[in-house]
Structure 1
Amino acid sequence: MASNGSAGIRDSPPEPGIFLDEELGSDWYIYESTESTARDDLFPEEIPECHPAISPRMYHTVMAPISLAVIVALSFLVKRRRLRRSCWNGVPGLLSPADLLGPAGPRAAAAAVCALLVSSLCQLPLQPEPLPLVSPASPAARELWKLLALLYYPAFYLPLLACAAPRRRLAYGAGTLLAWGHCAAQLGQRLHCPLGRQLPGLYSALSHVPVLLSLALLSLWYPARLIRSLGRGDGPEPQIPGKSYYRSYLKALLSKRGRKGSSAKMEESLWPRLRSYLRSYVYIPEEGFRIPLMLVVSVTTAVIAVYQVAVLLLAAALPALRAVRAGITKDAAVLLVQLGLLPGTARPGDMERELRTARHYLWALEVCYICSLALCCLLTCAMLLRTLAMHRSNLRALYQGAVLDVFSEARILRPSRGAVVCWIAFSGFQAAFACLGLLIQQVIFFLCFVAFTFLVVIPLQAGTGSLLFGIIRNMWPFWLALVVAVLLQHLLARFQFLEQHSLQTELTNRRALYIVTFLLFPTNVLVGVLAGVWRVVISGLYNAVHLCRLDISLLHRGVETFDPGYHTYCHYLKVEVSQCHPLLKAFCLLLLQPRQTEPPAAPRDTHLEEGLQLTRPAGAARARRLRARWALAYTLLRNPSLAAARKSALADPAANGARLRGPRP
């Protein structure tokens, strides 16, 4: 009996629930091992410790005193004030990083050092030791060291740029040694430990690319300047900074060039107009004009900040998505099917299809994230390039005194307290607005890509219907009615309500116009709802894309002063034009130019006739003097800073588009 009972129990088929649990349980361990393997590949539990020969603390401990010693020595070498000649042969002065208000500053060095500084500050929140010289004892102390690091890193990299200010051979030699020291230390750390412990190791490698490129540029720029200065001795460069630029600007302004008429633009086809529109987003250097150094620094810092934020977003999201895609199990697929997020299969026991579909959906999310991030970076860089072109046109207009072509109302182009503060904060505002615009664009475009992929692309690929297709299919009479109503209004306005005369167009059939307006009022309400939704969408997209541009206001002209970015840009223009006007600089150079002594005139022959003495040709010195006087008169006439001091301007305060007491931006 026992054997029969046991045989009966053994021969009886197992229950379906028990069989399903055993099958899922056996597969659970398989997928659990797969998940752990995938996680170990992406996020190993124990990242091997890497101790470079030159640790970050040692690097800063050695380079910080050397940089301080270099800048102190150069400060004693370059004496700014001579108050006490008996003490050190004059009082030394501090070295400025660069002449940010001059056109002849070290552009390559300034851009490289600012890129180096921005990269270090972007990596600061992820560093375990924000201040490399001190280890934080507690989280509160770590936040305090972060604030101190905001002042430490600019002071740490200041000597790299200050060595270019004296324009001396000794300063170029010190800059060469500093650049080589920084580059060797950073390159040694990256080669010995390419991967870091914060986030994925790839982030540490990608985030240091601008650092290495900037240091490589400085390592080549300073030796090139040193070699050029060897033939001039140890003294400073003899020429006045920017003198050649002012001359070339005045020469390009005074040169006569033929201009094409407006009829040529009207006859252009679609492709030339499209090409000219695309070229407006690419800054092409022109002869006789040079972008200010401050704007070059601002655009460089904004591009590097956008790159660092993009790398951080890429490194923070992609490994998580890949880990979820590699570790998804059949139980998770069953849950997604029950929630309606995945299409179910006809056979309940077949879960392979659902598992592949879930992984395919996660892969689609990853592709959408990468595409949206790439599109955001391209749009941000295009807007920054467009800023350069618009800045050039604005500066040219202000140089000519056309204030109303740039601002909505007349302004006095003079520096003020608020203008100086805005000029100081301009580069920081540009980098911050670019990063914030990138984050907002990433959220918007990622949602748009996801919606388009899961509502259009995947249903078409799978051959199934989607929610969007269902809405369009069920509401086609509504959409057709709106389209017909809009087309009907356009046709009636074109053929019934307008009458073309010889030179003008007149309104006709007014009775029918009133009837059609009253009958189509409910339909136009529905069209207005769609137009209002589109207005909200296009306004959000436009503001998100143009948030990084400070040369335009995102508000109406009446309230554009409440836009902090545009307000800063307006004051920045006032400082640039008032302090860096090229015609004013050319006028000052003409005044500072030493008079050339003319050779003594030859003795006259008293036996010559009087008519022969009157036909003597003018000398070259007189021709040069006449040209200099004419250029001086031209600069005085074209200088907008002197417009308010003229007699006509004093009689009429609104002359030349400016007022004596104009409102501030």
Structure 2
Amino acid sequence: MASNSSSGIRDSPLDPGIFLDEDLGSDWYIYESTESTPQDDLFPEAIPECHPTISPRMYHTIMAPISLAVILALSFLVKRRRLYRNCWNGVPGLLSPGSLLLDGPRGAAAAVLGIVLSSLCQLVLDRDPLPLAAPTAPSAREFWKVLALFYYPLFYSPLLACAGPRHRLGYGAGALLAWAHCAAHLGHRLQCPLDTKIHRLYSLLSHVPILLSLSLLSVWYPALLVRSLRHEDSPDQQIPGKSYYRKYLKAVLSKRGRKESSAKIEESLWSRIRSYLLSYVYIPEEGFRIPLMLVVSLTVAVIAVYQVALLLLVAVVPTIQIVRAGMTKDMVVLLVQFGLVPSDNPAVPGDMEKELATVRHYLWSLEVCYISSLVLCCLLTCAMLLRSLSMHRSNLRALYQGAVLDVFSKAHILRPSREAIVCWIAFSSFQAAFACLGLLIQQVIFFLCFVAFTFLLVIPLQAGTSSPLFGIIRNMWPFWLTLVVAVLLQHLLARSQFLEQHSLQKELTNRRALSIVTFLLFPTNVLVGVLAGVWRLVISGLYNAVHLCRLDISLLQRGVETFDPGYHTYCHYLKVEVSQCHPLLRAFCCLLLQPEPPAAPRDVHLEEGLQLMHPKPPALGRARVRRIRARWWVAYTLLHNPSLAASRKTALADPAANGPQLGVPRP
């Protein structure tokens, strides 16, 4: 009896063993299927643990002391001849990581800061934030992350500081460091291309900017070393940017007034569209070069956009693919019961093949919407960053000429201050941060827009069913028709009845009828105003989300634009850049520092009377005449520069004479 009862219990439909064997084994454990499914390739735990020949901790343990030794050795190449002149020929100088304020190595500065930014982006997800330290508890991990924020800039600063002394020893040390860093990173990526962090390819793809930057430095330093060995340093190379200052001065002095035609030529629609599209492409112009800090800011912003877009891509898309591959009929039944998936016969839950295909199609559409919105956001962000370069050039040119009101809403004195220096220091960091935040906000907005467009319009049209959007429009057609008729009626009456055109001017007429129409259409215009307010909110949100990465424009109106931290930082950055790096001022200083040609030797065999005679001065050559004229033009330009008015002797004696004046001073 016991055996029969037990067998009856096991054969009964309520046996829990059957549920465990059939339901859980066949449906719930979707990752133990014998068939090859996409989640088997995407699930990160299937990747074996990798131990490279040179681990990250060993790499940092070896390279950190070497970098410190290189810094100390190269610091003795930079001397301060003020104290202890008999010891080491002067006190060792501080080795600066590039001249970011003046015109330092542009490609090297952008590459090194890109390496630092990429390392910090990976720092957020690393289990060991500081490679030199042993694995710590989760409670102390945030403390090590704070230390790593200062460690990585110090670790990679020798890659840029080796170019500071402009010496062949520095170029050789920079080449060796760049080769060592590049070999270590490349060897690690080749031995361990896959990783269990987020996605198997995330570690490899996130290191692409680092490998490209190190490859650039590995080629750039040997090229500088070979050039320094072949040619001695010329006077132009001793002063960074001297050739650019001369070209800028030549371009300014060679400008001539162009006679423009007074007849206005109407442009076609295609010409206007072409001009608008070309405004987003930065075309270099002769005689002007974007400052180094702007180049660095644009580079780190693009790298930051790449890192954030990669993180958004590998964190969401594989998950959607896993959910789509592991979708079962039981889950489809639940979705059908909630009304999320349409079904022809929801009372029969056994046959759900059509509904399962529909759910997988929905998930595939969701994946397409996500990828499309991410691509669109990246393109818009890069287009805005390129558009900002043209605005930077226009603003700098206007400030170089003293046209302060063409850039700022009110008069500003272009001189450095405490707040301006702080803003100049944080400008490139703010640009990268604003680009990342703008990309995140754009991704959320455009993803929701793509999903709404797909599920409310595209999928119903594909399935041949009625869309909820079409149902709303169909049920509310009298309301929409009333609003359209009211708006059209107002435009027609304003053109035909309330506006009378004379020979050269227009006058208001039928004032009594105008008052009557205004009173009668007041309730209708309230509804139109509600729709206009919604559209204003939508267009303001889209505009601010797209232009959030641009610091050269304010997202607030003129009166409160100082409350915009991005635009406020940009304005103070311009003050420091113009006051300290004015090309004409630099060109004038280079001309003053230019050594005079040696005087002709005097003939000692002449008689004493002939020696006392004043010989006729030789005629000035064309080159010397052009040089003298150029110096006078520079002096004249500096004299009429309003940003330098407060620095003259008369202004120092009487601050009220030239200090508050921002216009062009008269001689």
Q: TM-score w.r.t. structure 2 length?
A: 0.89
Alignment of 1:108 with 2:110, yes or no, is: no
Alignment of 1:461 with 2:462, yes or no, is: yes
Alignment of 1:78 with 2:111, yes or no, is: no
Structure 2 Cα separation of the partners of residues 34 and 120 of structure 1: 36
CA contact (8 A) 1:47 1:197 kept: yes
Structure 2 Cα separation of the partners of residues 222 and 619 of structure 1: 41
After TM superposition, the structure 1 = structure 2 runs for residues 400-549 of structure 1, keeping only pairs within 5 Å, are: 400-549=401-550
Deviates more, 1:275-284 or 1:22-31: 22-31
After TM superposition, the structure 1 = structure 2 runs for residues 50-65 of structure 1, keeping only pairs within 5 Å, are: 50-65=50-65
**What do residues 314-366 of structure 1 show as CA deviations (whole Å, max 9, x unaligned)?**
11111111111111111111111111100012372421011111111111111
Structure 1 Cα separation of the partners of residues 133 and 659 of structure 2: 61
Equivalence for 1:10? none
Equivalence for 1:269? 268
CA contact (8 A) 1:281 1:386 kept: yes
CA contact (8 A) 1:109 1:161 kept: yes
Q: CA deviation at 1:310?
A: 0.8
Equivalence for 1:339? 338
Q: CA deviation at 1:422?
A: 0.6
Distance 1:482 1:161, change over 3 A: same
Structure 1 Cα separation of the partners of residues 203 and 621 of structure 2: 69
State the SS of the aligned residue for 1:201.
coil
State the SS of the aligned residue for 1:499.
strand
Distance 1:292 1:27, change over 3 A: same
After TM superposition, the structure 1 = structure 2 runs for residues 376-415 of structure 1, keeping only pairs within 5 Å, are: 376-415=377-416
Give, as a single letter, the amino acid of the residue that structure 1 aligns with 2:625. A
Alignment of 1:323 with 2:325, yes or no, is: no
Equivalence for 2:4? none
Distance 1:252 1:49, change over 3 A: same
Alignment of 1:41 with 2:32, yes or no, is: no
Give, as a single letter, the amino acid of the residue that structure 1 aligns with 2:176. L
Alignment of 1:99 with 2:95, yes or no, is: no
Structure 1 Cα separation of the partners of residues 640 and 275 of structure 2: 30
**What do residues 422-455 of structure 1 show as CA deviations (whole Å, max 9, x unaligned)?**
1111111111111111111111111111111110
Distance 1:601 1:133, change over 3 A: closer
CA contact (8 A) 1:246 1:583 kept: yes
Structure 2 Cα separation of the partners of residues 23 and 181 of structure 1: 60
Q: CA deviation at 1:651?
A: 5.3
Give, as a single letter, the amino acid of the residue that structure 2 aligns with 1:83. L
Distance 1:549 1:63, change over 3 A: same
Equivalence for 2:639? 637
Structure 2 Cα separation of the partners of residues 614 and 170 of structure 1: 51
Equivalence for 2:8? none
Structure 1 Cα separation of the partners of residues 77 and 273 of structure 2: 56
Structure 1 Cα separation of the partners of residues 126 and 268 of structure 2: 56
Structure 2 Cα separation of the partners of residues 334 and 33 of structure 1: 18
Distance 1:265 1:115, change over 3 A: farther
Distance 1:344 1:262, change over 3 A: farther
Structure 2 Cα separation of the partners of residues 529 and 260 of structure 1: 51
State the SS of the aligned residue for 2:177.
helix
Equivalence for 1:145? 144
State the SS of the aligned residue for 2:517.
helix
Equivalence for 1:572? 573
Structure 2 Cα separation of the partners of residues 122 and 483 of structure 1: 51
Q: CA deviation at 1:588?
A: 1.5
Structure 2 Cα separation of the partners of residues 276 and 556 of structure 1: 27
**What do residues 208-244 of structure 1 show as CA deviations (whole Å, max 9, x unaligned)?**
1111111111111111111111123599975422111
Equivalence for 2:5? none
After TM superposition, the structure 1 = structure 2 runs for residues 585-624 of structure 1, keeping only pairs within 5 Å, are: 585-597=586-598, 599=600, 618-620=620-622, 623-624=625-626
Q: CA deviation at 1:638?
A: 4.0
Q: CA deviation at 1:273?
A: 1.1
Structure 1 Cα separation of the partners of residues 511 and 242 of structure 2: 68
CA contact (8 A) 1:583 1:639 kept: no
Structure 1 Cα separation of the partners of residues 164 and 528 of structure 2: 63
**What do residues 573-592 of structure 1 show as CA deviations (whole Å, max 9, x unaligned)?**
00000000111111222222
Distance 1:142 1:563, change over 3 A: same
State the SS of the aligned residue for 2:597.
coil
Q: CA deviation at 1:477?
A: 1.2
Structure 2 Cα separation of the partners of residues 453 and 238 of structure 1: 59
Structure 1 Cα separation of the partners of residues 332 and 261 of structure 2: 65
Which one scores higher on RCO, CA 8 angstroms, separation ≥ 6?
A: 1
Q: CA deviation at 1:641?
A: 2.2
Equivalence for 1:216? 215
Structure 1 Cα separation of the partners of residues 268 and 472 of structure 2: 40
Give, as a single letter, the amino acid of the residue that structure 2 aligns with 1:178. L
Equivalence for 2:184? 185
Alignment of 1:627 with 2:626, yes or no, is: no
Equivalence for 1:3? none
Equivalence for 1:9? none
Structure 1 Cα separation of the partners of residues 20 and 468 of structure 2: 32
Structure 1 Cα separation of the partners of residues 324 and 191 of structure 2: 32
Distance 1:322 1:102, change over 3 A: same
Alignment of 1:583 with 2:604, yes or no, is: no
CA contact (8 A) 2:584 2:634 kept: no
Q: Which runs of 5+ in 1 are unaligned?
A: 1-13, 607-612, 660-665
Give, as a single letter, the amino acid of the residue that structure 1 aligns with 2:51. H
Distance 1:625 1:393, change over 3 A: closer
**What do residues 492-523 of structure 1 show as CA deviations (whole Å, max 9, x unaligned)?**
11122112222111111212211111111111
Deviates more, 1:504-513 or 1:537-546: 504-513
Equivalence for 1:136? 135
CA contact (8 A) 1:80 1:92 kept: yes
Q: CA deviation at 1:94?
A: 1.3
CA contact (8 A) 1:643 1:649 kept: no
Q: TM-score w.r.t. structure 1 length?
A: 0.90
Distance 1:260 1:524, change over 3 A: farther
CA contact (8 A) 1:403 1:658 kept: no
CA contact (8 A) 2:100 2:292 kept: yes
Q: CA RMSD in A?
A: 3.0
Equivalence for 1:610? none
Give, as a single letter, the amino acid of the residue that structure 1 aligns with 2:224. R
CA contact (8 A) 2:81 2:89 kept: no
Structure 1 Cα separation of the partners of residues 257 and 476 of structure 2: 59
Distance 1:471 1:126, change over 3 A: same
Structure 2 Cα separation of the partners of residues 371 and 176 of structure 1: 41
Structure 1 Cα separation of the partners of residues 20 and 503 of structure 2: 84
Distance 1:495 1:36, change over 3 A: farther
Distance 1:40 1:158, change over 3 A: same
Q: Which runs of 5+ in 2 are unaligned?
A: 1-10, 610-614
CA contact (8 A) 2:44 2:199 kept: no
Structure 2 Cα separation of the partners of residues 457 and 519 of structure 1: 41
